[in-house]
């Protein structure tokens, strides 16, 4: 049975599903080194098509989390700099 994978990026845990999807909030947190929730809320409000690439996944002990496939993460990665400049 395949298990989820956790990688630490700059001491931030980033969870991956067995099929390679990444926890949205973990990945954004690792990139911005801050709380990703408000950024994610704004991003999905302005780019709701990204949600087509997301689904809930239950990680053991941590409960369900929203995960995104590689195409969805590429879309997030493209627009993320716009949101980072708004944070400064």
Query: In this predicted model, what pLDDT tens digit does every residue of 48-67 receive, in sequence order?
Result: 999 999 999 998 777 789 99
Q: Is the pLDDT of residue 7 over 90?
A: no
Parent domain of 53: 5-87
Report the number of distinct structural domains present in the chain.
1
**Dihedrals φ, ψ of 45, to 5°?**
-70, -40
pTM of the model: 0.86
Residue 18's alpha-carbon distances to 33, 46, 71, in angstroms, are: 25, 29, 16
């Amino acid at each position: 049975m395949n298990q989820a994978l956790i990688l630490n990026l700059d001491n931030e845990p980033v969870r991956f599903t067995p099929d390679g999807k990444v926890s949205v909030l973990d990945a954004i947190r690792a990139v911005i080194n801050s709380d990703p929730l408000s950024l994610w809320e704004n991003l999905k409000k302005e780019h709701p098509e990204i949600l087509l690439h997301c689904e809930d996944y239950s990680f053991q002990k941590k409960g369900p989390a929203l995960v995104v496939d590689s195409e969805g993460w590429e879309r997030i990665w493209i627009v993320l700099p716009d949101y980072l400049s708004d944070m400064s």
